[in-house]
Amino acid sequence: MTTAISVTDLAAGAADADLLDDRARPSRPLLVVDLDAATAPTAADVEQAVRRARESGRLLVGRTARPAPDCSDDLLHALDVTLVRAPHDRLCATDAAGSPATVAVTDPAAEAEFLRARAAEQPAAALVLRQVLGMAAGLPVPQALDLESMAYSTLLGGSGFARWLAARGSRPAPPRASRDPVLVRRAAYVLRITLDRPERRNAHGAQLRDALAAAVDIAVWDESVREVVLDGNGPCFSSGGDLDEFGTADDLAAAHLVRTRAGVARRLHALGGRLTARIHGTCVGAGVELPAFAARLLAAPGTTVRLPELSMGLIPGAGGTVGIPRRIGGRRTLYLVLDGRPVPVERALAWGLVDRIEE
């Protein structure tokens, strides 16, 4: 178990050491701040800790063994996220009633160490994620999507992604769909768009992306479409990006333009209140990032959501740093990516990531 720093340590500059080592590699990208120190910090220490936390280039994760942090709101919001204690069977209830700056876990100390280790494995991606979430919160959605994509392209050229590709090994290009990967049906004023490549678990590859963008454009340009329903056939709504296509872009600047101008997130956002998304099964990456832009996001019982990009040396690249924070806040979005494990639909509902659970 790593040694956490106290609020007094934070005030004294414990997070201020140089972030980059002599080879420009991030050192200690995430520090854990213990909010339960035996000796309470002075008011002056808390004020100084808040200032240093806001100025820090490192991720700062608070932890407390209490159900709610015993610290000022200023300190709570200066930290990147704070882990609080909750019994396993009350995680969702605790989160629903708690601050959006906190996440309830059964063992805050163990979870904080897990997040620290995850950030240490892919430090560049973890730090870029923090930067993007912080900047995107103050931008209109289209500009925030541009920011996310530029950061994503940067990380595609990084050593973290290169290590993930090398460990994965080479893969053949995915087969082209033998039929339209997206079904489009219109009944009166309702347009239903269905991802229909169940043999690939509706993976968000280039062919499906282009077909989905074309389908959404029908409603973007035709205001007589009063409602759009987005769903998917097969065992899950979408398993996210097609991993067989990862690492195939040889022009990262062009890939940025494709993501932002040929991608789907901007189009879904443009639909505004007309869009209802229905998700089910194991929804990974783009499989939750894109539905998050819907005005109404409905999830079937047993649905799980997961953002796995950090382990690849990346951040969410289908709009996840934009649409998801606008539903659950930047701190819980940061936690979803740092943690990387599946989140059950009950917790997604408690957070507001989904609006209702129904068949």
CATH number of the domain bearing residue 167: 3.90.226.10
Q: Are residues 138 and 117 in the same domain?
A: no
Last residue of a domain, one of 74, 98, 121: 121
Residue 21: is its pLDDT beyond 90? Answer: no
Question: Residue 252's Cα: distance from chain center in Å?
Answer: 21
Q: Is 345 among the domain residues?
A: yes
Q: What is the 3-state secondary structure (H, E, C) of 134-195?
A: HHHCCCCHHHHHHHHHHHHHHHHCCHHHHHHHHHHCCCCCCCCCCCCCEEEEEECCEEEEEE
Phi-psi region of 340 (alpha: psi -120 to 50; beta: other; left: phi over 0): left
Cα separation, 241 vs 204, in Å, equals 4
* Residue (of 45, 27, 25) closest to 35 by Cα position: 45
Q: Is 139 among the domain residues?
A: yes
CB neighbours of residue 359 within 10 Å: 7
Measuring CA to CA, how many Å separate 124 from each of 20, 100, 165, 170?
Answer: 11, 25, 16, 24
Confidence of residue 2 (pLDDT cuts 50, 70, 90): low
Q: Is 348 among the domain residues?
A: yes
Q: Which of these ranges, 133-147, 241-255, 283-297, has the smallest mean pLDDT?
A: 241-255
Strand partners, 306: 284
Q: Are residues 153 and 91 in the same domain?
A: no
Q: Is 128 among the domain residues?
A: no
Q: Is 129 among the domain residues?
A: no
Q: pTM to 2 decimals?
A: 0.95
Q: Are residues 192 and 235 in the same domain?
A: yes
| pLDDT tens, position by position, 196-220 | 999 999 999 999 999 999 999 999 9
Phi, psi of 293 (to 5 degrees): -80, -5
Last residue of a domain, one of 121, 142, 171: 121
Residues 6 or more apart in contact with residue 352 via CB below 8 angstroms: 327, 328
Instruction: Produce one character per residue of 186-195: b if its CB has 16 or more CB atoms within 10 Å, e if not.
Output: eeeeebbbbb
Signed CA dihedral, 32, 33, 37, 39: sign only: positive
pLDDT at 318: 95
| pLDDT tens, position by position, 43-100 | 999 999 999 999 999 999 999 999 999 889 999 999 999 999 998 888 998 999 889 9
pLDDT at 174: 81
Confidence of residue 250 (pLDDT cuts 50, 70, 90): confident
Q: Are residues 20 and 108 in the same domain?
A: yes
pLDDT at 178: 81
- Tell me whether residue 137 is exposed, middle or buried, using C-beta atoms within 10 angstroms of its C-beta: 0 to 12, 13 to 18, 19 or more: middle
282 is in which domain, residue-wise? 134-357
Q: Are residues 225 and 155 in the same domain?
A: yes
Q: Are residues 348 and 205 in the same domain?
A: yes
Q: Are residues 146 and 173 in the same domain?
A: yes
Q: Is 127 among the domain residues?
A: no
Measuring CA to CA, how many Å separate 334 from each of 126, 158, 355?
Answer: 9, 20, 20
For Cα atoms 107, 110, 115, give the angle at the middle one, nearest 5 degrees.
Answer: 120
Q: Is 49 among the domain residues?
A: yes
- Tell me whether residue 138 is exposed, middle or buried, using C-beta atoms within 10 angstroms of its C-beta: 0 to 12, 13 to 18, 19 or more: exposed
Q: Are residues 332 and 248 in the same domain?
A: yes
Extended beta strands in 4-136, E state: 5-6, 30-34, 59-63, 81-85, 102-105
**Residue 320 near residue 288 (C-beta atoms within 8 A):** yes
Q: Per-residue pLDDT averaged across 352-359, rounded?
A: 95
Q: Are residues 193 and 231 in the same domain?
A: yes
Q: Are residues 138 and 57 in the same domain?
A: no
Cα separation, 235 vs 286, in Å, equals 16
More confident residue, 250 or 221: 221
**Residue 119 near residue 338 (C-beta atoms within 8 A):** yes
Confidence of residue 172 (pLDDT cuts 50, 70, 90): confident
Q: Is 126 among the domain residues?
A: no
Last residue of a domain, one of 121, 151, 178: 121
Measuring CA to CA, how many Å separate 130 from each of 67, 80, 122, 277?
Answer: 25, 8, 13, 28
* Residue (of 274, 296, 282, 275) closest to 354 by Cα position: 296
| pLDDT tens, position by position, 305-315 | 999 999 999 99
Average pLDDT over the chain, rounded to an integer: 94
Q: Are residues 166 and 81 in the same domain?
A: no
* Residue (of 280, 302, 277) closest to 355 by Cα position: 277
Give the chain's domain count.
Answer: 2
Q: Are residues 208 and 103 in the same domain?
A: no
Phi-psi region of 313 (alpha: psi -120 to 50; beta: other; left: phi over 0): left
Residue whose tokens read 């909750």: 86
| pLDDT tens, position by position, 8-17 | 999 999 999 8
